[in-house]
Amino acid sequence: MKIAKVINNNVISVIDAQNKESVIMGRGIAFQKRPGDVVDESKIEKVFKLDNKDVSEKFKTLLYEIPLEYMEVSEEIINRAKERIGKKLNDSIYVSLTDHINFAIERNQKGLLINNALLWEIKRFYKDEFCIGLEALKMIDSKLGISLPEDEAGFIAMHIVNAELNEEMPNVVNITKLIQDVLTIVKYHFKIELDEESLNYFRFLTHLKFFAQRLFSETHFESRDDFLYELVKDKHKDAFHCTEKIKSFIEKTYRHTITKEEMAYLTIHIERVVNRN
């Protein structure tokens, strides 16, 4: 295995037999080395095979600029997220999360603290991801000796959500805000507090996440058969009226329309969460 590019003393890239590039990390692995030299395999600590070429290029650029320790703790956080959540995460998280941690540490060292305006929502809507964010802060403190505020756990959680949903960060922010908006409409319409520990609430929240994702990516459930729509409209009148409020709000606020199919599924979930919460 030969070196394709020297990124810094601790990072190189190689081209494998399938003509795919991998990024390899190891302390001193590129010391006094040049492209074409044989890789000292005894110094290999981490191997990153990123399928997306654009992400791979951004990743290499980032590694020019940040300490190896930041990349190591970022990778540990990502691995913990994969284990805990059990979902595939988009490769972009290796760039976005590492870059964020680097920036957060720089800001912290300069005494520049940024409040996370969505922290309360993140804690409620992305509980697993937020718990990982809190664990991430402990890892950063333990491995780098840097204590970051709880707001950063929220930011880290959002990067994980972003990688789960395969969305750009602005869309994840919009998704989170829309979820809060919809829940507020439901609570005010029915004049109730929802049981956030119930299974039906969890199901509703999951539906809202993907509903919002479809909305902002402009991909919708679409059907020529209005049977389900007419059925729930007739059977769950109060829940359907609530859905109509949500539809009107989304059209005015976000300039997006909701299909009849989306309204039907939303009504079903609202009916379940308010009557068996």
Which CATH number characterizes residue 3's domain? 2.30.24.10
Q: Do residue 66 and residue 34 come from a single domain? A: no
d(CA 122, CA 142) in angstroms, rounded, equals: 24
Put simply, whether the predicted model's pTM sits higher than 0.85 gets the answer no
One-letter amino acid of 202: F
The candidate with the shortest Cα–Cα distance to 273, out of 170, 190, 175, is 190
Q: Do residue 216 and residue 131 come from a single domain? A: no
Neighbouring residues of 177: CB distance < 8 A, sequence distance ≥ 6: 118, 121
What does the pLDDT profile of the chain (277 residues) look like in tens digits?
Answer: 888 888 888 888 888 777 777 888 888 888 888 888 888 888 888 787 777 777 777 787 787 788 888 988 998 999 999 999 888 888 888 888 998 999 899 888 888 778 887 888 889 889 999 999 999 999 999 999 999 999 999 999 989 998 887 767 778 888 899 999 999 999 999 999 998 888 788 889 888 988 898 888 777 666 666 888 898 999 999 999 999 999 999 999 999 989 898 899 899 999 989 986 4
d(CA 209, CA 221) in angstroms, rounded, equals: 14
Q: Which of 146, 165, 184 is the last residue of a domain?
A: 165
Q: Do residue 192 and residue 260 come from a single domain? A: yes
Q: Do residue 59 and residue 160 come from a single domain? A: yes
Q: Which CATH number fits the domain that encloses residue 74?
A: 1.10.1790.10
Neighbouring residues of 99: CB distance < 8 A, sequence distance ≥ 6: 62, 66
Q: Which of 15, 30, 49 is the last residue of a domain?
A: 49
| Chain position carrying tokens 């890789």 | 39
pLDDT value at position 220? Answer: 65
Between helix 93-109 and helix 68-85 the angle, nearest 10°, is 120
pLDDT value at position 276? Answer: 62
Q: Do residue 234 and residue 215 come from a single domain? A: yes
d(CA 270, CA 267) in angstroms, rounded, equals: 5
Residue 39: DSSP 8-state: P
pLDDT value at position 277? Answer: 45
pLDDT value at position 53? Answer: 75
Q: Do residue 24 and residue 128 come from a single domain? A: no
The candidate with the shortest Cα–Cα distance to 179, out of 208, 219, 206, is 208
Q: Do residue 98 and residue 26 come from a single domain? A: no
Q: Do residue 247 and residue 160 come from a single domain? A: no
Sheet holding 46-48, edge to edge: 3-8, 11-15, 21-25, 46-48
Q: Which of 107, 135, 165 is the last residue of a domain?
A: 165
CB atoms within 10 A of CB 112: 9
Q: Do residue 270 and residue 221 come from a single domain? A: yes
Q: Do residue 154 and residue 255 come from a single domain? A: no
Residue 125 three-state SS: helix
Euclidean distance between the first and final Cα of the chain, in Å? 58
Q: What residue numbers bound the domain in which 65 lies?
A: 51-165
d(CA 154, CA 113) in angstroms, rounded, equals: 13
d(CA 69, CA 234) in angstroms, rounded, equals: 60
Q: Do residue 14 and residue 75 come from a single domain? A: no
d(CA 274, CA 201) in angstroms, rounded, equals: 9
pLDDT value at position 19? Answer: 75
CB atoms within 10 A of CB 82: 16
pLDDT value at position 209? Answer: 86
Residue 86 three-state SS: coil
d(CA 22, CA 114) in angstroms, rounded, equals: 35
Q: Do residue 4 and residue 93 come from a single domain? A: no
How many folded domains does the chain comprise?
Answer: 3
d(CA 63, CA 116) in angstroms, rounded, equals: 27
